[in-house]
Structure 1
Amino acid sequence: MTGAGEQRGTRQEVLDARRIVVKVGSSSLTTAGGGLDADRVDALVDVLARTLREQDPANAAAKEIVLVSSGAIAAGLAPLGLDRRPRDLARQQAAASVGQGLLVARYTASFARYGRRVGQVLLTTDDTSRRAHYRNARRTLDQLLAMGAVPVVNENDTVATDEIRFGDNDRLAALVAHLVRADLLILLSDVDGLYDGDPSTPGTSRIAEVHGPRDLEGISIGSAGKAGVGTGGMVTKVEAARIAAAAGIPVVLTSASQADAALRGRATGTFFHRTGRRSADRLLWLAHASAPRGALVLDDGAVKAVVEGTGSLLPAGIASVVGEFSAGDPVELRDPAGHAVARGLVAFDAGEIPQLLGRSTRELARELGPEYEREVVHRDDLVVLHR
């Protein structure tokens, strides 16, 4: 861990990044009472447009930006006569329905000053944990970038239920960065970085660099900001940074007012170094974005095979079934004590599995037909959560 005063120079990984995902929170775009702040939106777009326009002569490849923007629900509060973010889902969805149009219209007008088009992309977890939907989402984003547009991504709050929500746009941004194979993720909020305590308390200092989980041991991470219009806080931002860094994507966490400095590679905010390599694309989403529709409880032998081995989950290792789900849905794989050890896409409906429990695929094929001589969860559709 490096103190704020110890970091010097520029961050070369930032300067070298070609494809960048920028996430901005509600508090950086709206007033505390709800409603978009046009000046704040324009200030952010000024910075992003400059980044897209300016190009290092030594780097011929043009830069690309994907903007993950919160603010739809907050933007819809004032027009609907709401003085604060509602707690019930129905009114949140109503506010999002009104606010999302206002948000994208504001971005469209602001980027138009620079001759840039924007494209709205709304996602739910269901769009990205399933194989075909995942490919479609990536194809859409890639095509928008190839055509010179700026994708503006948000969770589809107007239809998302608790079962199919990302939970916060920080995590969504980390997963989108992986989806589009970004070189850098920048998380913007109303705080200028991660501190070793409450930033308002005298004696605390900003953490300039994080090389791994050990650098965060003993750090007290705060909750949501004072504006009260968003769902995230420092906890969600650090978790998003951890997800992205583990997937091989460096992260800058800073305030929206420092966006220009961050994109210029200056030593602002907190820089999270890569801690891992890129994994198979969809598995990251399966681990962090999918909402399990049920669970399979495994015996001890199957737990060991799934967690320590490289094989698929077979019927012989399943002890019981929990919940209702269909073939292709994400499910948890639990140990006998009920702890989730893995997650995967199941190949059978919940109602079919009880007749398969504890039996070999060869036996099932003889009795039920050749279509039952297969895995319940194939290894390619399985991600281990704990080792």
Structure 2
Amino acid sequence: MLSNVKRIVVKVGSQLLSGDEGINRNFIKELAKQISILIENGKEVVLVSSGAVLAGIKALKLNRKPFSLQEKQALSAIGQPYLMAEYREAFKSHGIEIAQVLLTAEDLRSKERFINAKNTLNALMKFGALPIVNENDTVSVEEIKIGDNDNLSAHVSVVFEADLLIMLTITNGLYDKDPNKYSNAKLIPIVENLEELKKICDFSGKTNFGTGGMWTKVEAAAKASKKGIPVIIAGGKEKDVILRILKGEKIGTFFMPAKKLKAKTYRILYLMKPTGKLYIDEGAVKAIVENGKSLLSRGIKKVEGSFRKGDAIEIFDTYGNLIGKGIVRCNSDEIGSFRKTCVHRDDLVILKEN
């Protein structure tokens, strides 16, 4: 499955980048060596890197995480130049220029900005530069925040149309329980069904500097795999781990790719934040679920929230069961008088098991 891999997204977390005196230069040098070999062999690579806030913490010699969003944003602003300087120095020795790419969720929710992000990454590939992507913490607020770089890496792999997402972490893959606490923890080599995985795994616990535990990685891997992108969660401290994965060595946990979602479907499901709710009658439920029809205004019984044309909304039946998500074609205050299609079938995603 990995023999024809051309485009690769590599994600590294804060714990791997953390050193005793600040950013772990040895890890970055090793990472740069492996990625440079991939590029020399004709691969196209995007690196999603945490570590800006960590670099800010280390620069100010703090011994704690930020208390507030404002502190996090300030520390990110302080740390980002330090982090990029380390990457630039490491890749410079291999003759590779780096490019800083900062994104928010809003950049990915909008179709136009989604396409622009894709075009920018493609242009950087033509220049032979390595894009290093991070969330734009300095300007992010709750409404436009992705929240963690695990999910960001999944979104970037979709934008980049990657053939493989490699998520490097401090453990050697996904275990059924915390391997640092339990000696009998078992590595899960392959994941095919997320619901079955939830039954056998304990996803509790977060790292000292990271924003999430193993569950965020599983959640992100599930999103990318639903877009048809294979995902591997592996130990970043393993010798030549990226190169060995590309050679076909079975390392870490492999998430099997599913049938590819369309880019619009992915954006509706995972990127667009619903701003309202529509409750529809039984006839409308049958029309959109069983017959693949658009949602007409006459089938809407109740409206909640305030939304505008082009916003994402959730659709429920009259019993409160979630039916789907979609992009609405009218404002919330127009529903009663809007005698047209409210959600076109091309902008509608039916949720059954999602």
Instruction: Please confirm whether the aligned pair reaches a TM-score higher than 0.5, indicating the same fold.
Output: yes
Q: Which residue of 2 aligns with 1:18?
A: 6
Q: Which residue of 1 aligns with 2:29?
A: 42
List aligned pairs for 1:24-35, cutoff 5 A.
24-31=12-19, 35=22
CA contact (8 A) 1:262 1:269 kept: no
Residue 279 of structure 1 aligns with an amino acid whose one-letter code is: L
List aligned pairs for 1:263-302, cutoff 5 A.
263-274=246-257, 276-302=258-284
Q: Which residue of 1 aligns with 2:113?
A: 133
Quick one: structure 1 residues 335 and 86, their matched pair in 2 at CA, closer, same or farther if it must change by over 3 Å?
farther
Secondary structure at the counterpart of residue 11 of structure 2: strand
Range that drifts further, 204-213 or 112-121: 204-213
CA contact (8 A) 2:226 2:261 kept: no
The counterpart of 1:378, out of the listed 339, 344, 347, is 344
Matched, 1:303 2:282: no
Q: Which residue of 2 aligns with 1:236?
A: 216
CA contact (8 A) 1:193 1:270 kept: yes
List aligned pairs for 1:252-263, cutoff 5 A.
252-258=232-238, 259-260=241-242, 261-263=244-246
Range that drifts further, 188-197 or 210-219: 210-219
Aligned residues: 349
Residue 25 of structure 1 aligns with an amino acid whose one-letter code is: G
* Cα-Cα RMSD: 2.1
Q: Which residue of 1 aligns with 2:332?
A: 350
Q: Distance in 1 between matches of 2:77 and 2:280?
A: 42
Q: Distance in 2 between matches of 1:177 and 1:100?
A: 22
Secondary structure at the counterpart of residue 23 of structure 2: coil
Q: Distance in 2 between matches of 1:32 and 1:344?
A: 48
Matched, 1:171 2:171: no
Give the CA deviation at 1:67: 0.8
Secondary structure at the counterpart of residue 311 of structure 1: coil
CA contact (8 A) 1:333 1:341 kept: yes
Q: Distance in 2 between matches of 1:114 and 1:51?
A: 12
Q: Which residue of 2 aligns with 1:7?
A: none
CA contact (8 A) 1:252 1:269 kept: yes
Q: Which residue of 2 aligns with 1:75?
A: 55
Cα deviations by residue, 1:133-180 (Å, 9 ceiling, x for unpaired): 111111111111122111111122112222222222112211221222
Matched, 1:198 2:178: yes
The counterpart of 2:38, out of the listed 51, 63, 81, is 51
Q: Distance in 2 between matches of 1:142 and 1:278?
A: 21
Q: Distance in 1 between matches of 2:247 and 2:66?
A: 38
Residue 380 of structure 1 aligns with an amino acid whose one-letter code is: D
CA contact (8 A) 1:320 1:354 kept: no
Give the CA deviation at 1:80: 4.0
Secondary structure at the counterpart of residue 138 of structure 2: coil
Matched, 1:213 2:194: yes
Quick one: structure 1 residues 87 and 15, their matched pair in 2 at CA, closer, same or farther if it must change by over 3 Å?
farther
Q: Distance in 2 between matches of 1:82 and 1:303?
A: 55
CA contact (8 A) 1:32 1:229 kept: no
Give the CA deviation at 1:22: 0.7
Residue 252 of structure 2 aligns with an amino acid whose one-letter code is: G
Residue 108 of structure 2 aligns with an amino acid whose one-letter code is: T
Structure 2 runs not aligned, ≥5 long: none
Quick one: structure 1 residues 349 and 45, their matched pair in 2 at CA, closer, same or farther if it must change by over 3 Å?
same
Matched, 1:324 2:311: no
Residue 27 of structure 2 aligns with an amino acid whose one-letter code is: R
Give the CA deviation at 1:26: 1.0
Give the CA deviation at 1:225: 4.5
Quick one: structure 1 residues 85 and 51, their matched pair in 2 at CA, closer, same or farther if it must change by over 3 Å?
same
Cα deviations by residue, 1:95-133 (Å, 9 ceiling, x for unpaired): 222222322232222211111112222222211122211
Identity fraction in percent? 40
Give the CA deviation at 1:19: 0.5
Structure 1 runs not aligned, ≥5 long: 1-12, 56-61, 362-373
CA contact (8 A) 1:125 1:291 kept: no
Give the CA deviation at 1:217: 5.5
Give me the TM-score of the superposition, normalised by structure 2.
Answer: 0.91
Cα deviations by residue, 1:82-106 (Å, 9 ceiling, x for unpaired): 4222242111111222222322232
Q: Which residue of 2 aligns with 1:334?
A: 316
Residue 89 of structure 1 aligns with an amino acid whose one-letter code is: L
Cα deviations by residue, 1:250-273 (Å, 9 ceiling, x for unpaired): 111111113333343311111122
Secondary structure at the counterpart of residue 178 of structure 2: coil
Q: Which residue of 2 aligns with 1:189?
A: 169
Residue 21 of structure 1 aligns with an amino acid whose one-letter code is: V
Residue 40 of structure 1 aligns with an amino acid whose one-letter code is: F
Residue 211 of structure 1 aligns with an amino acid whose one-letter code is: E
